[in-house]
Chain A
C-alpha cells in the first residue's frame, strides 16, 4: 500500500470511527438497535453541503448538519417511546423517510463541494500538504469525539444511561428517567454519525443521496473488530477501539482492493471484505481457545 493510499485509508477510518462510536452508544450502551444511521449519515452530509453551497460558514454548517442528524435520532426515539413502535422498525421508518428528506435538503441527488470552502480551508495556508492535513484534522476530531464520549459515559448522567441499557427495570426502580436517557442517547449517537457524514462530504468533495447505504454495517463491523481485538475492560478503551476497529476495517477494504494479484476481480470486493472482517473476528477467539487448551494440558 502506498503512503497516499494508507493516509486515505486512515482518513476514512477516522471519519467512520465517529460512526462506530455512535453505533456503540446505541447497540452496546443503550441496547437499542438503531438503523437510523444509514439516513442520518447522509443527512449530516446533505445539510452541511447544502448550507455550505448557500454560503454559510463551514463550521456553522457542520454544527447544524450534526444537529439535524441528532434530531433524526430523536424522531426514532419518539416513535419508539411514544407509540411503542419496535425500535428496529422505528429506526427503519426514520431511515426511509430520511432518504426523501435528504433529496429535498440537497434539492438534487448530488451536491459537489469540490470548489467550496470547507472546515479545512482555514488550515490550508499552514503549509501542511493536503494529504496530511485531512488525516490530522479528522484524527483530531475522532479522538476528541472519543474522549468526550467516554468522559460523558463516566459522568453521573452517563452512568445512568449505561444502567438503562443493561437493566431497564432496575434503572427505573433506582429513580432513573429511562425515556429521557434513550432520547439523549439516540440524539448523541446520530449526532456523531451526522458529524461523520459532514466531515466525509467535506473531505471527499461531495454529498450524494446514496452515501449512507450500509453505514450501519460499517459501524457495527468497526465496533466488533475493535471489541474483539482490544477487549471491553474499560469504556475509554472500548470507545477508542471503535476508531481502531474502523481503521482496521478500512485497511481490510484496501487489501481487498489490492487483491488483483490473487486473481480476484473488482466485483469480489464485498466478499473479500466480509472474509477479512470475519477473520479478524475469529482470530481472538481462536487464540483464546488455543491458550485455554494449552493451559489445560499443563494442568494435566
Chain B
C-alpha cells in the first residue's frame, strides 16, 4: 500500500516536471567507424546544423560513438543505439552505415561520408529511396580536382594516387578517377597502403613515377597524410588532396567541401526529418562544395609556385 502510493506520487511528480519542461529533447545518436579529423568534422558539422535550427542545449540529446575501426564494434554500437530508440541515427562511413541499416527498419537512419551508397546497398535508389534510410554521399567531383592540379602542373602526365585497397570508399573513388583521367589524357599510377603505417612507403613508391601525388578521400591515407606530405617535400613532388581540411595539414591545394560542411549538409537532412519529412522521400544528396583551399608555403617547400589565377579564386589561403 505505502509502496504503491509512493510510486504513484513519483509518477505524478515526474509527469508534472516533464510537462513543465514541455517536449522531451530530440535524441540524435551518431556513430562513425573510426575517429580522424575529417570524420570528427562531419560530426561537429551535424551538431552545428542542429544548433542553427534551434536544436541545442536542453532540447537536444546528441551522442557519439566511435567503432575504433572495428566492424564488430560498429555492429554492437548499432544495436545499442537502436535499443535507445533515438529519433534519428546518423552513421558516418560505410561499415557503420551498413550496421545501422541492418539493425533497424523503423528508426530513421541518415548516413554520411559514404562514397557509394548504392554499392553499399544502403538504399535501392538515390532518388526517393523509400524505407527509413537516406543520407549524403561524399563521392568527389574528381574532374574538378584534376583540373585544379593541372593548373599547378600544366604538363601533368602521370598522377600518383596512394589508396587503401581494403577500403570501399577508396576503391570506388579510384575506379572513377581512372575514367576521368583517361578523358583528360592523364595516366594514373596507384600505390596500395593497406594500413596507415604503409602510407609512407606507398608515397615513396610514387616518387620518380608521378608528376604529382593526389591524396584521395580515403580514411587510411587521410589519417596518415603527413607522411605523404613529408615525402612530397623531400622528393619535391607536389601533393594535392581531395578534401580541403587536408590542405590545412599540408597538401598544396584542394577544391571541394570541407568535412565540417559535409556534416552541415548531413545535418540539414536530419533537420528535415525532425520537422516531419519521411527519410524515404528525401533524395540521397551528393555533397556540394565550392571551397578552394591553397597552401602557398607548402607549395614552395614542394618546389612549385601557386598560379596567380588560383590564388585569386581561393576561398582560404592557409598561412
Contacts and interface: CB of A to CB of B under 8 A. Distances in A.
Contacts of A200: 72, 75
Most chain B beta carbons < 10 A, residue from A208, A211, A269: A208
Contacts of B94: 110, 208
Interface stretch (A3-11, A20-28, A149-157, A229-237): A3-11
A103 to B, nearest CB: 6
Interface string B167-191: 1101100000000000000000000
Nearest to B120: A112
B77 A205 contact: no
A113 B122 CA distance: 10
B166 A269 contact: no
Size range of the chain A interface in the assembly? 35 or more
B66 A266 contact: yes
Contacts of B79: 4-5, 7-9, 11-12
Contact of A211 (B35, B64, B71, B124): B71
B98 interface: yes
Given A16-B72, A253-B73, A108 B168 contact: yes
Contact of B98 (A1, A16, A206, A254): A206
Interface in A240-271: 250, 253-254, 257-258, 260, 266-267, 269-270
A266 B76 contact: no
Contacts of A205: 98-99, 101-102, 121
A211 B171 contact: no
Contacts of B75: 8, 12, 200, 204
A206 B99 contact: yes
Given A108-B119, A114-B98, A114-B121, A9 B71 contact: no
A109 B165 contact: yes
Interface string A203-230: 1111011110110001000000000000
A201 to B, nearest CB: 9
B208 interface: no
Contact of A103 (B70, B120, B166): B166
A295 interface: no
Contacts of A4: 79-80, 82-83
Contacts of B78: 8
A286 interface: no
Nearest to A45: B71
A269 B68 contact: yes
Interface string B12-27: 0000000000000000
A259 B168 CA distance: 31
Interface string B52-89: 00000000000111101111110111111011110000
Contact of A214 (B70, B99, B102, B166): B70
B166 A210 contact: yes
Contacts of B82: 4-5, 8
Interface in A30-55: none
A99 interface: yes
Given A206-B98, A208-B95, A269 B84 contact: no
Contact of B66 (A213, A214, A260, A267): A267
B99 A8 contact: no
Interface in B224-270: none
B37 interface: no
B68 A2 contact: no
A16 to B, nearest CB: 7
Nearest to A215: B72
B68 A257 contact: no
Interface of B: 35, 63-66, 68-73, 75-80, 82-85, 94-95, 98-99, 101-103, 119-122, 124, 164-168, 170-171, 194
Interface of A: 1-9, 11-12, 16, 99, 103, 108-110, 112-115, 200, 203-206, 208-211, 213-214, 218, 250, 253-254, 257-258, 260, 266-267, 269-270
16 contacts: A5-B80, A8-B75, A8-B78, A12-B72, A12-B79, A109-B168, A109-B170, A115-B121, A200-B75, A204-B98, A205-B121, A208-B168, A211-B70, A266-B64, A266-B65, A269-B68
Nearest first, the 3 closest Cβ-Cβ pairs linking A and B are: A8-B79, A205-B102, A4-B83
